[in-house]
Amino acid sequence: MKKLTLVTILTVGALSLMAAPDGKALSAKCAGCHGADYGKKALGVSKIVKDMKEDEIVKALKGYKAGTFGGPMKGVMKGQVANYDDAQIEAVAKYIKSLK
């Protein structure tokens, strides 16, 4: 069995950190309210996300995170995206728009 060196371990760790965020996995909790194809009005009041442009989704999610976007759902959505960084938000938007 080959011995792992510290350099090997650090290299593998760094490469895994550089991997693009998984938009599908990150958006799994979104589908509960917005529907698997994002064609549902969440709680009967939201926009239909699949009809939004990718940049509109990014703007909305970043706004929810900052607390500067949205009406009555602002509080609910802020909690949903609070821990997402910009790359994760962009990955979610890209994944949603990739759905047919």
Higher per-residue pLDDT: 16 or 18: 18
Confidence of residue 12 (pLDDT cuts 50, 70, 90): low
CATH of domain 22-98: 1.10.760.10
Q: Give the mean pLDDT of 41-46.
A: 91
Q: State the Cα–Cα distance between residues 46 and 31, nearest whole angstrom.
A: 13
H helix runs in 19-85, sequence order:
23-26, 31-34, 54-66, 74-81
Domain boundaries, the chain: 22-98
pLDDT at residue 47, as a whole number: 92
